[in-house]
Amino acid sequence: MSTNFELFPGKDLSGLFKDIYDNQQQKKKRISELIAEMRKIIRHAGDMVVIGPIIKDLVDSSVRNDDSLLKLAAIAQRIMAAAGKSSEDTGFLTEAEKNQLIDDFEKTVKAATQAQESKIDDLTIEVDELKEKEKK
């Protein structure tokens, strides 16, 4: 199975795998940085009661995003398998089904990325608010 299979203009399976990997590395770094910032704020057990669920939500969101990316890779592999069949085969997917899968793929990527960015932005705001409270 070739990783040069074009999923949509300008994006092949190899590029998708690279994006998944790069996204994971960037997310790992951002989560670590956020946790490091939160560590500086924690002064007593009460602070941990507030910050602990924030960290848990961030990690859970990351896991859900990872699952979405894995599903996208599976969809891409199904598309590649279907494209590899000869015209004489009855076919695994019709052209309309392939297009629908690609549309679903693009929507899922966009939604997963927006959800992750939104969650990180929300957590960054919460950290900033906690820092302000700490200064007072």
This prediction's pTM: 0.47
Of the chain, the percentage scoring pLDDT greater than 70 comes to 85
* Distance from the first to the final alpha carbon of the chain: 60
Residue-number span of the structural domain to which 124 is assigned:
6-135
Mean pLDDT, to the nearest integer, of 19-24? 79
pLDDT of amino acid 39? 79
CA–CA gap between residue 122 and residue 28 (Å, rounded): 17
Give domain status of residue 56, yes or no. yes
SS3 93: coil
Which of the four pLDDT bands, split at 50, 70 and 90, describes residue 37? confident
Q: Where are the beta strands (DSSP E) in 1-136?
A: 6-8, 11-12
Average pLDDT, the chain: 76
Give domain status of residue 60, yes or no. yes
pLDDT in tens, 78-95: 777 766 665 555 556 677
Give per-residue burial for 31-51: e unless 16+ CB within 10 Å, then b: beebbeebeeeeeeeeeeeeb
What is residue 92's DSSP assignment? S
Give domain status of residue 70, yes or no. yes
pLDDT of amino acid 69? 72
Residue with structure tokens 């994971």? Answer: 24
Contact (Cβ atoms closer than 8 angstroms) between residue 130 and residue 51: yes
Give domain status of residue 1, yes or no. no
Question: CA 121 from chain center: how many Å?
Answer: 15
Give domain status of residue 50, yes or no. yes
Give domain status of residue 75, yes or no. yes
Give how many domains the chain has, as a whole number.
1
pLDDT of amino acid 112? 79
pLDDT of amino acid 52? 79
What are the structure tokens assigned to 46, written together?
């009460």
Would the CA dihedral through 26, 29, 31, 37 be positive or negative?
negative
